[in-house]
Amino acid sequence: MKYFIAFVKKEFRHIFRDRRTLLILVGMPIAQILIFGYAITNEIKDAAIAIHDKSIDYQTREISNKLTASGYFVLKSDINDISQYEELFRLNAVKEIIVFEPNFAKNIGRGDKGKVHIITDASEPNTAAMLSSYTSGIINSYAANNILTQDQKDQGIRAETRMLYNPELKDVFMFIPGTMALILMLVSAMMTSVSIVREKELGTMEILLVSPLKPYHIILGKVVPYLLLAFLNAVVILLLGIFVFGLPIRGSILLLLFESLLYIMLALSLGIFISTIAKNQMMAMFISMFALMLPTTLLSGFIFPIENMPKILQYLTLVMPPRWYIVVAKAVMLKGASIFVIWKETFILIAMIFTFLTLSIIKFKERLN
């Protein structure tokens, strides 16, 4: 035990000595949360558009004003020739071009239809879909308010929409659980695997193995500091979420912390497993970087909903640890779920921890023999 404590102290000293890495360990979650909170947004604001008005009457002008006054659009240029469309898009100068056909108001006055084309740059498909739906929304509401009678407007079935759990449609509900999953995976799995492999690569592992420390002491000693660091990160992210972005914790905070701890342990056991298969630090990093980071962001439901993926990938997500943690974190934070709702996910997390530990022990024995 005494040796063990001394070993853990040594590990801590290694971490604290390297100021730069420590600073990044602490600063990374904060930077990431702030970027997700403030910079990454699906909202449309001030999108550059161009208007080609072939009619130039009071109604087309009115609609143009409505569009620019909405806050979604900024008028970049008025154009008067069809040849300019392509050029503007290719320069990335505008994202949408609105074309009013001739005799717009005159046609409406005659009881005919006024024609307008909405052309969007769909090289960004989501933005294009949103822009075109906002534009047609504004045009339709102009038509309803200024051209139709009150009676005509009221007819038909109206849908009343309620947004459950997140009435203001804030993105923070998505990115806090996701960021936690990503950062905890990074700190735990990447750091432990690299720091264990480093001892192998530099040859100091041999020295440790002949010391009175048991092999599992060595591994445990490597893991404990990162467990604490990762847990600290989880708490910092949660505090930022709650106090800066108004994230509600509707369920039990203790349950949430317990689940986070489970997830950290899972990531650590994954890190240990990587260290048993990697020959050198470069390989450990490569595996962590490619095999952990991108799937953690893209195959976990963090950014892209799992239901939308092809079936075969949906099955693949079943073996992604972050997927289960994100489900749990969202359920506890946002839906106020209790352990009875998420017992299955919790069980899966625990089963994964045992799987990775068993695999590592098998690999480790192989190596010693």
What's the min distance (Å) between Cβ of 214 and other proteins? 25
Q: Label the pairing between strands 73-78 and 47-53.
A: parallel
- The tokens for 305 are 């909903």
What's the min distance (Å) between Cβ of 310 and other proteins? 6
DSSP 59-80: HHHHHHHHHHHTSSEEEEEE--
* Three-class secondary structure of residue 96 per DSSP: strand
According to the 3-state scheme, what is the secondary structure of 26-53?
A: HHHHHHHHHHHHHHCCCCCCCEEEEEEE
Q: Does 18 bind other proteins (CB under 8 A)?
A: yes
Interface mask toward other proteins for 24-53; x: CB under 8 A = xx-xx--xx--xx-xxxxxxxxxxx-----
* Three-class secondary structure of residue 102 per DSSP: coil
Interface mask toward other proteins for 73-92; x: CB under 8 A = ----------------xxxx
- Residue range at the interface with other proteins (CB under 8 A); choices 16-24, 49-57, 226-234, 352-360: 16-24
Residues 156 to 195 in contact with other proteins, rule: CB under 8 A: 156-167, 169-171, 173-174, 186, 190-191, 194-195
Residues 94 to 153 in contact with other proteins, rule: CB under 8 A: 95, 108, 113-129, 132-133, 135-136, 139-140, 142-144, 147-148, 152-153
Residue type for position 209:
L
Residues 221 to 250 in contact with other proteins, rule: CB under 8 A: none
Cβ nearer to other proteins, comparing 43 with 210: 43
Count the Cβ atoms, other than its own, within 10 Å of residue 275: 26
* Closest-CA residue to 263 (of 186, 339, 199): 186
CA distance 87 to 310: 36
Q: Does 62 bind other proteins (CB under 8 A)?
A: no
Q: Does 282 bind other proteins (CB under 8 A)?
A: yes
Residues 298 to 327 in contact with other proteins, rule: CB under 8 A: 298-299, 303-305, 307-310, 313, 316, 327
Q: Say which residues have a Cβ less than 8 Å from residue 308's Cβ, sequence separation at least 6.
A: none
- Residue range at the interface with other proteins (CB under 8 A); choices 3-11, 228-236, 333-341, 346-354: 333-341
